[in-house]
């Protein structure tokens, strides 16, 4: 263990500085400052070094080599290349790291372990395609313990049945973010709420067969949004339940959505089959339902939150149909139905179909 209040500077007379760990586990509690690019080699798979005091990179390159592990509490303004073993962001806190560039060699089983944190790579420092390759490799079929971008925290939680993952975003400034997340947290802000529900439904990718992103609902990293993603969204039990971070999750208490949240989840469950039928980015015309006019009116009166959600999700274009009431309630039937004996006699007839009324939310 190396401790001290003053910083340790890694410098070289020429070229890059090097630090090699042959064996054992080592901790550097003193802050480390890079005056040059550095290669950190951990020669044994059972060896490790932890820079507990942090590394000030100053935009310089850090190359991780060898099969062992390097642990840091976080990185800022570093260029990182992981050519072997792993670089682990300490999992004791939800650390947000920032990198100028990132390269990971999955073929050498190299990995960046985000723990319960996140990393943002500056614009131009990594392509979206490269990030997705790293995330798919790290996901490793859902266990999140593969090479690439992975998480030992997520892997441990998934092993116990807790639905967690790494999500990602393409930010407006051209940077890319990968973060500890739960399926359904489309904007990776550590909560699942109405914004995420709107992103999922209004993204227009459900069952469309077109390429989709995490924010649009692709939580399984297969490139599309389908029933598996919808099931992941609705099965977490986290909607409107507040922050779900690893500390909150460790208590093992199942989150119970508020009544309004349950209505929105019910709305998603109702909209999904309709999206399957349409399979396009707008659901302006919803398939005719089987709810009579009085029940539909009661739904709108009793469940305004659900109807408001559906209206917002489809940008105000939703039109919900009502079928004419049963023959026994002629006084409340639409006029065309009441005046049509053929419609009253046979609810499945063409005349009955013509009696449908469509109202806008």
Between residues 12 and 39, the one the model is more confident about: 39
pLDDT in tens, 165-178: 999 999 999 999 99
Mean pLDDT of the chain: 77
Cβ neighbour number for residue 6 with a 10 Å cutoff: 7
Query: What is the DSSP code (8-state) at residue 206?
Result: B
Query: What is the DSSP code (8-state) at residue 106?
Result: G
Residue 65 predicted with pLDDT over 90: yes
pLDDT in tens, 92-127: 556 789 999 999 999 999 999 999 999 999 999 999
Residue 140 predicted with pLDDT over 90: yes
Which class for 161: exposed (0-12), middle (13-18), buried (19 or more C-beta within 10 A)? exposed
Between residues 286 and 187, the one the model is more confident about: 187
Work out the pLDDT band at 3, boundaries 50, 70, 90: low
pLDDT in tens, 254-280: 444 444 444 445 455 544 444 444 443
Closest listed residue to residue 112, CA positions, set 80, 150, 77 = 150
Helix axes 304-313, 194-202, angle to 10 degrees: 50
Residue 82 predicted with pLDDT over 90: yes
Separation CA 56–CA 155 (nearest Å)? 29
Residue 48 predicted with pLDDT over 70: yes
SS3 for 208? coil
Question: Computed from CA positions of residues 188, 190, 194, 197, in that sequence, does the dihedral angle turn out positive or negative?
Answer: positive
DSSP string across 113-134:
E-TT-EEEEPTTSS-HHHHHHH
- The pLDDT assigned to 184 comes to 96
pLDDT in tens, 183-222: 999 999 999 999 999 999 888 999 999 999 999 999 999 9
- The pLDDT assigned to 202 comes to 85
Residue 35 predicted with pLDDT over 50: yes
Residue 57 predicted with pLDDT over 80: yes
Residue 54 predicted with pLDDT over 90: yes
Q: How far apart are the first and last CA of the chain?
A: 66
Residue 294 predicted with pLDDT over 50: no
Residue 281 predicted with pLDDT over 60: no
Work out the pLDDT band at 1, boundaries 50, 70, 90: low
Work out the pLDDT band at 307, boundaries 50, 70, 90: very low
Question: Computed from CA positions of residues 183, 186, 189, 192, in that sequence, does the dihedral angle turn out positive or negative?
Answer: negative
Cα angle: 284, vertex 286, 290; to 5 degrees: 160
Torsion angle defined by CA atoms of residues 64, 66, 67 and 71, in that order, rounded to the nearest 10 degrees: -30
CA atoms within 13 A on the CB side of 17: 17
Separation CA 144–CA 165 (nearest Å)? 7
Q: Where are the domains of the chain?
A: 1-181, 284-360
Residue 7 predicted with pLDDT over 60: yes
Segment (H or E) for 150 = strand 148-150
Work out the pLDDT band at 85, boundaries 50, 70, 90: very high
- Beta carbons of 26 and 71 less than 8 angstroms apart: no
- The pLDDT assigned to 245 comes to 79
Which class for 15: exposed (0-12), middle (13-18), buried (19 or more C-beta within 10 A)? exposed
- What's the whole-number mean pLDDT along residues 20-41? 95
pLDDT in tens, 311-353: 344 344 433 333 333 333 333 334 334 444 444 445 445 544 4
């Amino acid at each position: 263990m190396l401790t001290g209040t003053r910083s340790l500077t890694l410098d070289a007379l020429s070229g890059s500085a090097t630090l090699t760990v042959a064996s054992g586990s080592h901790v550097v509690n003193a802050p480390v400052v890079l005056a040059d690019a550095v290669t950190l080699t951990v020669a044994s798979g059972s060896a490790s070094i932890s820079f507990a005091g942090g590394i000030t990179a100053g935009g310089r390159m850090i190359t991780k080599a060898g099969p062992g592990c390097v642990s840091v509490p976080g990185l800022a303004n570093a260029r990182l290349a992981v050519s072997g073993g792993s670089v682990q962001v300490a999992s004791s806190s939800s650390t947000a790291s920032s990198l100028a560039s990132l390269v990971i060699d999955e073929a050498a089983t190299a990995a960046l372990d985000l723990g319960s944190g996140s990393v943002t790579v500056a614009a131009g420092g990594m392509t979206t395609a490269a990030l997705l390759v790293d995330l798919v490799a790290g996901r490793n079929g859902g266990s999140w313990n593969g090479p690439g971008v992975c998480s030992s925290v997520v892997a441990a939680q998934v092993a116990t049945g807790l639905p967690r993952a790494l999500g990602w975003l393409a930010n407006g400034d051209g940077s890319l973010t990968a973060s500890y997340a739960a399926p359904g947290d489309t904007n990776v802000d550590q909560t699942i709420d109405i914004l995420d529900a709107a992103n999922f439904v209004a993204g227009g990718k459900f069952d469309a067969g077109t390429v989709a992103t995490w924010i649009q609902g692709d939580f399984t990293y297969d490139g599309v949004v389908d029933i598996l993603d919808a099931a992941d969204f609705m099965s977490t039990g986290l909607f409107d339940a507040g922050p779900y971070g690893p500390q909150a999750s460790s208590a093992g208490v199942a989150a119970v959505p508020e009544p309004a949240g349950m209505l929105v989840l019910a709305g998603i469950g109702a909209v999904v089959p309709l999206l399957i039928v349409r399979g396009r980015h707008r659901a302006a015309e919803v398939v005719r339902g089987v709810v009579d006019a009085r029940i539909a009116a009661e739904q709108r009166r009793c469940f305004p939150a659900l109807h408001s959600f559906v209206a917002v999700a489809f940008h105000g274009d939703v039109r919900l149909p009502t079928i004419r009431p049963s023959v026994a309630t002629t006084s409340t039937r639409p006029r065309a139905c009441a005046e049509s004996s053929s419609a009253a006699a046979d609810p499945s007839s063409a005349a009955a179909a013509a009696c449908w009324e469509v109202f806008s939310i």
